[in-house]
Chain A
């Protein structure tokens, strides 16, 4: 264990060093793109805790992002709260909503749970239209101040670092074992003394809280502007794609999944002929299909395979 821990800490420190040094190399525009990677990193990380580790499918995480995003905007717009303070608030509120949505998960599983969360993703943005005086309606609503590229970069990656540590601490201990046991067999988990209702709703809560923080930052990256179209169903699907590319049930693949969904739309728009305008989504789809064919277990699966190659085999197996 100690050797794996050392490798993990080394990887984390290298990643942190790269993140700290990167702004010196990047211009403002690319800082913005890099911040987007951090934002999707947080969201995919959250989704992975729920889907990858606990085995509960959610096609509704865009809705938790909406809840976090609107929390930030309302606090800043109505109460002039410091933008930084709105982030923990988004965490807490999204956690609460996550627990509530997690309750149906006690009765549903698999495709049915996916449908419940899908319905959630469809209905949440409608609330902004229904309560348009408070939430800005289709015109949208904006924070009192909008952050610049560097602010966004620093805050997003700081949040990503902190939440990555939180996820790691949660998953490596007793709670993480309970999550994984639920994923592998609910009956066996119950038999081993895991209280399903508590751990399932807890997984939903943590996962949603991560998405909530991502949503706050997502809105701040949109110049502090929240509007229902930003949180369409496609956003939830993108997160699921990100988690699949990352590889369910692994923390290290998440970065690749996040880079994938944060940057691919921008990159695919530059593909000549079909990339511009209309073809953007086509390119995105084609690459997703390609990645899933070549790496059915995601990037984490690739790492796993590399690790089992002769010569670089490590003593322990991925848990």
Chain B
């Protein structure tokens, strides 16, 4: 540190002393970090580049929603500054970037950060510093279950085991004598899904005739698909990341296997992925998955307030996302829904929002109707229930290479 730097440091030190003295003298309560009279600064880490950059439309949509709110007066007169940092889905980047957000930018909260590994790497750090880690974009169940040890963390979307449970219940009810073949990723993500499926099947879990796993490094799942087919399965359940899920659908068709039903975990059920699978020759008609957000492409939902609002906001504040939205990229709606929830919580976090107030608001949602979630879904949380969305609807694909998801049946509740 040079002379100038040292003088600056001394000057900054003097300022801090002065500020502390003034605060103490007037006995004023200092606002939480990131909050001023006119603004609230939040931030998050996202894979804008690298292997998971497909998800970069999520923070862009969130930013668009905050810009929209800011143009309509902000929250209690405060505008939301959203600092989006690129961690390339690499925890070694997530950690220093998050430290930068907390210690340099001094954000009020870490909002929406994406990815299970990335969030795990900063979980302890944020909680020990009492920085809210909220509405994070991962469907693992740790976030909801670990509220005692990690009270400053909460997720948003339904968790993987809960979703697996729905598929189990569906198969138990509709195809009680199915021979089920499961393809799952050999890690916590895939195993959680698979465990949920077995819970949902209950006594029928013996219907699983074969379960094949693949390592995340593998993209070719031909062996596994052939093994499931030769085990005599007539139902194919896929709990895989998008690349492997698309490959599995294409491979099943290419080896001449047409299961009576195919179920697909919703992380790989973005409309864009199914279109890609169909374009590569997969027979995707009749594939079943689940949804918890509105759809921007499904005609009967076109007049829902959430869909109209999504189109208006994206059109005005994020024109580069319009094409994605029109093709049914569910991530755009996801981002809007998560940002909506943050704004809702901020409105309920006190006139001068505090970190504790934000967490309390997020943990006391009672039948909150988020316009971007599927009609009928309500967000409910409590001190001991940290899963905001616990309802999902099953959807089925029709229309082949130009098709779309169509919801069917009624909402499943208690997903987790």
Contact, CB under 8 Å: A223 / B124: yes
- Report A55-111 residues with CB < 8 Å from chain B CB: none
Give the distance to chain B from A221, nearest Cβ to Cβ, in Å. Answer: 7
Give the distance to chain A from B187, nearest Cβ to Cβ, in Å. Answer: 4
**Cα distance A65–B48 in the bound complex, in angstroms:** 25
Most buried by A among B86, B96, B117, B121: B117
Most buried by B among A33, A138, A227: A138
> Known interface pairs A223-B122, A277-B84. Does A137 touch B92 (Cβ–Cβ under 8 Å)?
no
Contact, CB under 8 Å: A146 / B120: no
Q: Does B9 contact A (CB under 8 A)?
A: yes
Q: Does B374 contact A (CB under 8 A)?
A: no
**Cα distance A135–B73 in the bound complex, in angstroms:** 49
Measured CB to CB, the nearest residue on chain A to B213 is A132
The binding surface of chain A is classed by DSSP as helix
Q: For the side of the interface on B, what is the size category?
A: 35 or more
Most buried by A among B9, B84, B217: B217
Q: Does B103 contact A (CB under 8 A)?
A: yes
**Cα distance A162–B384 in the bound complex, in angstroms:** 50
- Report B69-114 residues with CB < 8 Å from chain A CB: 84-86, 88-92, 94-96, 99-100, 103-104
Of A29, A140, A232, A280, which is within 8 A of B121 by CB? A140
Of B1, B90, B188, which is within 8 A of A229 by CB? B90
Contact, CB under 8 Å: B6 / A139: no
Q: Does B385 contact A (CB under 8 A)?
A: no
| A243-281 interface code vs B (CB 8 A; 1 in, 0 out) | 000000000000000000000001001000000011011
Measured CB to CB, the nearest residue on chain A to B218 is A129
Contact, CB under 8 Å: A278 / B124: no
Of B6, B91, B96, which is within 8 A of A227 by CB? B91
Contact, CB under 8 Å: B103 / A277: no
Most buried by B among A27, A132, A218, A278: A132
Give the distance to chain B from A175, nearest Cβ to Cβ, in Å. Answer: 33
Q: For residue A222, which residues in chain B have a CB less than 8 angstroms away from its CB?
A: 91-92, 94-95, 121
Contact, CB under 8 Å: B48 / A32: no
> Known interface pairs A126-B217, A225-B95, A229-B117. Does A137 touch B9 (Cβ–Cβ under 8 Å)?
no
Contact, CB under 8 Å: B216 / A142: no
Q: Does B260 contact A (CB under 8 A)?
A: no
Give the distance to chain A from B100, nearest Cβ to Cβ, in Å. Answer: 7
Q: For residue B125, which residues in chain A have a CB less than 8 angstroms away from its CB?
A: 146, 223
Q: Does A186 contact B (CB under 8 A)?
A: no
> Known interface pairs A278-B48, A280-B86. Does A223 touch B96 (Cβ–Cβ under 8 Å)?
no
Q: For residue A266, which residues in chain B have a CB less than 8 angstroms away from its CB?
A: 96, 100
Contact, CB under 8 Å: A132 / B91: no
Contact, CB under 8 Å: A227 / B187: no
> Known interface pairs A132-B186, A277-B84. Does A142 touch B215 (Cβ–Cβ under 8 Å)?
no
Q: For residue A232, which residues in chain B have a CB less than 8 angstroms away from its CB?
A: 90
Give the distance to chain B from A134, nearest Cβ to Cβ, in Å. Answer: 12
Q: For residue B104, which residues in chain A have a CB less than 8 angstroms away from its CB?
A: 29
Q: For residue B156, which residues in chain A have a CB less than 8 angstroms away from its CB?
A: none
Measured CB to CB, the nearest residue on chain B to A33 is B96
Q: Does A305 contact B (CB under 8 A)?
A: no
Q: For residue A316, which residues in chain B have a CB less than 8 angstroms away from its CB?
A: none
Give the distance to chain B from A220, nearest Cβ to Cβ, in Å. Answer: 10
Q: Does B193 contact A (CB under 8 A)?
A: no
| A202-244 interface code vs B (CB 8 A; 1 in, 0 out) | 0000000000000000100111010101101000000000000
**Cα distance A281–B95 in the bound complex, in angstroms:** 18
> Known interface pairs A25-B1, A32-B99, A130-B217. Does A139 touch B124 (Cβ–Cβ under 8 Å)?
no
Of B89, B91, B188, which is within 8 A of A137 by CB? B188
Of B1, B6, B48, which is within 8 A of A277 by CB? B48
Q: For residue A230, which residues in chain B have a CB less than 8 angstroms away from its CB?
A: 90-92
Give the distance to chain A from B310, nearest Cβ to Cβ, in Å. Answer: 24
Q: For residue A138, which residues in chain B have a CB less than 8 angstroms away from its CB?
A: 117, 185, 187, 189, 216
Of A36, A129, A140, A227, which is within 8 A of B215 by CB? A129
Give the distance to chain B from A287, nearest Cβ to Cβ, in Å. Answer: 18
- Report B317-337 residues with CB < 8 Å from chain A CB: none
Q: For residue A139, which residues in chain B have a CB less than 8 angstroms away from its CB?
A: 116-117, 120, 140, 187-189
Contact, CB under 8 Å: A278 / B187: no
- Report B111-138 residues with CB < 8 Å from chain A CB: 116-117, 120-122, 124-125
Q: Does B49 contact A (CB under 8 A)?
A: yes
**Cα distance A113–B6 in the bound complex, in angstroms:** 47
Q: For residue A140, which residues in chain B have a CB less than 8 angstroms away from its CB?
A: 91, 117, 120-121
Q: Does B51 contact A (CB under 8 A)?
A: yes
Of B94, B121, B124, B215, which is within 8 A of A132 by CB? B215
The interface of chain B, by Cβ under 8 A from chain A, is 1, 5-6, 9, 48-51, 84-86, 88-92, 94-96, 99-100, 103-104, 116-117, 120-122, 124-125, 140, 185-189, 215-217
5 of the cross-chain contacts (CB-CB < 8 Å) are A32-B99, A129-B216, A138-B189, A225-B121, A229-B50
The interface of chain A, by Cβ under 8 A from chain B, is 22, 25, 27-29, 32-33, 36, 126, 129-130, 132, 137-140, 142, 146, 218, 221-223, 225, 227, 229-230, 232, 266, 269, 277-278, 280-281
- 9 additional contacts (CB under 8 A) given A27-B103, A138-B117, A142-B120: A22-B1, A29-B103, A130-B217, A132-B215, A221-B95, A229-B90, A277-B85, A280-B86, A281-B49
